[in-house]
Amino acid sequence: MDLLTRLEIQSGMVLLVRDDSKRPVALIAMYGGYPNQFESPWMKQFAMGIEQRWEKVWRLSQ
């Protein structure tokens, strides 16, 4: 049995955090227990908000 099956992971999404030069500085991985959990327009908007917030945190920390 593979790890994803044992953890009951059905879906996943990776968010890319970029600096001001658009270079990637971090990845945020999110996993869900339901198929297509991150496919709805609401979840896509939520993910974009998380990316933007973490990019702001990165800028403020530099």
Rounded to whole angstroms, the Cα distance separating 61 from 10 reads 34
- Give residues with Cβ within 8 angstroms of 24, minimum separation 6: 16, 17, 18
- pLDDT number for residue 18: 96
- Residue 3: pLDDT band by 50, 70, 90 thresholds? confident
Token pair listed for 47: 């993910």
Counting the structural domains of the chain, the total is 1
Q: CB pairs under 8 A, 24+ apart, for 41-49?
A: 43/13, 47/13, 47/15
Residue range(s) defining the domain that contains residue 31: 3-61
Check: pTM over 0.85? Answer yes or no: no
